[in-house]
Amino acid sequence: MTTPRSMNDPFATPVAGRLAGKVALVTGAGSVGPGWGNGRAVAVRFAQEGAIVHGVDLDSARLRETAEKVEASGGRFFGGECDVTRSDSVEAAVQRALQSHGRIDILVNNVGGSAKGGPEQMSEAVWDQQIAFNLKSVFLTCKHVLPAMVAQGGGAIVNVSSTSGLRWTGAAQVAYAAAKAGVIQMSKVMAVEYASRGIRVNTVVPGQLHTPMVEVRLAGQRAGGDVDALLRERQARIPLPFMGDGRDTATAAVFLASDEARFITGAEIVVDGGMSVRCD
């Protein structure tokens, strides 16, 4: 089931200018397939609001569609390759952004992906990879961006977690759930530590969205390649009668990154159609 975008599309009538003059570094700004992944949607939505977007991805080819969509909206996009699990790669990406524009006003940590299994089924190697990909990546980007934000007198960090970090969401993915819970708590700790220096840290917590990753990866893992069956299974957990996508994550991220959220830090916005508050 798809979102009734013709009735209410946040990308169709953006409130232009909320991020005007801001420089944003967005990780995972590509997508594994066509459509609206979280990172791609964030990059486009930020550009629509006036931000200069530096988007990075492990595979720079995935940034092409993102760049095309940003340019079609009249925005400015600079893309580059980055392995967010490696400190030297993250540092290089941060320095490229700083050398180009002298500052980073917004950091969006969007990289993530799940692997199935509980402690018995999951190998130690997969556990380590999941923690590095979903949690260490946030630590590394913050480690290299925060000094610049401190020096310039402020900034906004938006970390993307998952409802898997809040509750059981239908499948055992113990490392992903632990890492995404860690992202939420890391955000709270940084929010308090850096509040006096004008840096806000908040988290968007998406639920089970219809993104390209669902069709390319998750369907093969959980529904034998039957995308429609997986979407029906996921939709059944959502009280609203449609499934959101990356644009819904992006709209929440815009608000948290903007001055409209100037008095909000250490908070979470859950974007899941009501799934996490169900009692069954």
Closest by CA position to 127, among listed 185, 187, 178: 178
Q: Are the beta carbons of 274 and 239 closer than 8 angstroms?
A: yes
Query: Which neighbouring-strand residues pair with 77?
Result: 53
Q: Which residues of the chain form beta strands (DSSP E)?
A: 23-27, 52-57, 76-81, 106-109, 155-160, 199-206, 268-271
CA–CA dist 245, 231 (Å, integer): 12
The DSSP secondary-structure symbol of 173 reads B
Residues whose CB falls within 8 Å of the CB of residue 255, separated by 6 or more in sequence, listed in order: 261, 269
Residue 194 annotated among the catalytic residues of the structure: no
Backbone angles phi, psi at 49, to 5 degrees: -90, 10
CA–CA dist 38, 26 (Å, integer): 10
Catalytic pick among 155, 176, 201, 222? 176
Three-state secondary structure call for residue 170 = coil
Q: Which residues are catalytic?
A: 176
